[in-house]
A and B are shown apart, each in its own frame.
Chain A
């Protein structure tokens, strides 16, 4: 496995907010008592009068942000994904999305790698429940730099955007000057035998899997599908045509997540065999991030296994 620099995606979130805040005085940031975790406390230190903490009240958090947006401000709200996307789902649906309010969501602590806090705090369902809401756009950036770019790109969009990021440091797989376009998937590695479509933390796992498989003579194409909605159907179909089989990889329930979204595109446009790497319809538990990734089957090893499986289906 190659050595990559490890950085926090949530730091990318906070750094982007501060950079935007320097330019745009309409940006305001809202928290529900977790600013030290989400790192929006850094924004608060820099711009104390543009930070609002509503206390532990996520439903109010969403609608206060909605109200702020109605006065011409651009609110970015942030808390853990379970409380944000889950607890305040209907506020997001009915007030923000139906009303097309210009509210941005920073969904922190996504995925099982949240670790020792356990199942209650490990958001594994947000992609599914956010992507079914009309008007919502969703991005799951892969690393520090991509998170930063996604946050900046979301400010150019008039309407709700949900950006999901994790708690742990993750390997840097892009770079400061890497292209980023909201809604456009990127190939991080060209290949001809099989495509691995991944998002978030699983992008680096996919790259590791591709490297390992190279020595076994399997040429893997790695697609970083950071934007889940609107989904880049062109790139998905193009890579399916090229390699003829696909493995999806996400730190999220298999049901309804990024892999499901990919299969919706494929089934309707260019059906090919697909295998999925993700959480298998279960809750997490306490443990270290790496122990959990291993136990719940979302590492490069699992990707390798699914690549081999999908290749047998491709051949048959």
Chain B
């Protein structure tokens, strides 16, 4: 199937619930992984992979595909889920996550599973890679768009700002960056660990086209992407205010769930909540 496709907000919401189930089940099955930041990025990824990105899971080397580069690569539960659910590989494989011999490495390799554009895991590096991809496409006068997903943790790395500076310098109108801004990192609140506020003003000062949205609202995500695409003079950033652990009541806004797997009763409770959400949507 060739993407993008048209989907209603309800259809997207159902896909988001499926992704959240995958994230919970994968991290539990692995006994490790990063559920918190995976859950906060779900709406962004569901919207991008279904309704925005030009891509074809049956033809991963398609010349005209848009490029999705992950800067926050620790959210492999979310990345692998969206790839499996859009047809890059069988969702059955998701349960091999983080296990010996699996294609689904703790942090992604460029070579597997299908659909990964760039390896990553060491923060601060891949916004530079996204900048290079956008620069290379622009240099070759290609019309593909480049999307990237970062986080405020990724933006604590100094190199990220080298990339921010250069993407604006090279006037990369084909680059759109999402920041999954969930305000938490491993050691606690971002503003306690190493404050990054005001993020929007920082990007404005670097000459980026800046939008701030609710990263869990499909309409806001869609509109922001339209605006970003319409802006051709340079790179665009969409700062998406999100909730770490979004969708599972006891995981929301808890730094402790950054890198811990929900298991046993926690997992049962999480799945129950998601099933309940699903029934609310389907019985509407």
Contacts and interface: CB of A to CB of B under 8 A. Distances in A.
B129 A66 contact: yes
Given A95-B129, A98-B109, A99-B110, A67 B135 contact: yes
A52 B119 contact: no
A62 B127 CA distance: 12
B52 to A, nearest CB: 20
A59 B165 contact: no
A11 to B, nearest CB: 27
B136 A67 contact: yes
A269 to B, nearest CB: 33
Nearest to B132: A67
A71 B162 contact: no
A65 B119 contact: no
A124 to B, nearest CB: 25
Given A55-B166, A57-B166, A60-B162, A94 B132 contact: no
A90 B122 contact: yes
A44 B230 CA distance: 32
A89 B166 CA distance: 20
B141 to A, nearest CB: 11
B135 A63 contact: no
Nearest to B137: A71
B115 to A, nearest CB: 14
Interface in A40-84: 49-50, 52, 54-55, 57, 59-60, 62-73, 75
A27 B109 CA distance: 26
A25 to B, nearest CB: 10
B68 to A, nearest CB: 12
Interface in A112-146: none
Interface string B126-160: 10111111111101101000000000000000110
Contacts of A68: 132-133, 135-136, 139
B119 A73 contact: no
A63 B122 CA distance: 12
Nearest to A58: B162
A288 B139 CA distance: 42
A71 B126 CA distance: 15
A30 to B, nearest CB: 9
B118 interface: yes
A84 to B, nearest CB: 15
A70 B133 contact: yes
Contacts of B26: none
A71 B125 CA distance: 17
Interface in B159-187: 159, 162-163, 165-166, 169-170
A94 B125 contact: yes
Main secondary structure of the interface of B (DSSP, over half): helix
A197 interface: no
A235 B121 CA distance: 40
B239 to A, nearest CB: 21
Interface string B104-122: 0000011100000111111
A42 B110 CA distance: 34
B262 interface: no
Given A57-B165, A57-B166, A60-B166, A94 B119 contact: yes
B121 A67 contact: no
A28 interface: yes
Contacts of B130: 67
A99 B162 contact: no
Contact of A95 (B119, B137, B166): B119
B165 to A, nearest CB: 7
A65 B158 CA distance: 18
A79 B252 CA distance: 46
B106 to A, nearest CB: 13
Contacts of A224: none
Given A59-B128, A91-B125, A94-B125, A67 B133 contact: yes
Centre residue among A55, A71, A91, A98 by max chain B CB count within 10 A: A71
Contacts of B158: 59
Contact of B125 (A52, A63, A70): A63
B124 interface: yes
A73 B128 contact: no
Interface string A84-103: 00000011001100111000
Nearest to B142: A71
Given A70-B117, A70-B136, A94-B125, A55 B131 contact: no
B163 A60 contact: yes
B117 to A, nearest CB: 7
Contact of B159 (A63, A66, A99): A63
Contact of A70 (B124, B132, B163): B132
Given A59-B125, A66-B129, A71 B136 contact: yes
A72 B132 CA distance: 11
Contacts of A100: 110-111
A52 B129 contact: no
A98 B166 CA distance: 24
A49 B139 contact: yes
Given A60-B163, A67-B132, A95-B122, 4 more contacts: A60-B162, A65-B132, A91-B125, A94-B119
Interface of A: 28, 49-50, 52, 54-55, 57, 59-60, 62-73, 75, 90-91, 94-95, 98-100
10 contacts: A59-B162, A60-B162, A64-B163, A66-B129, A72-B136, A90-B125, A94-B121, A94-B122, A95-B129, A99-B110
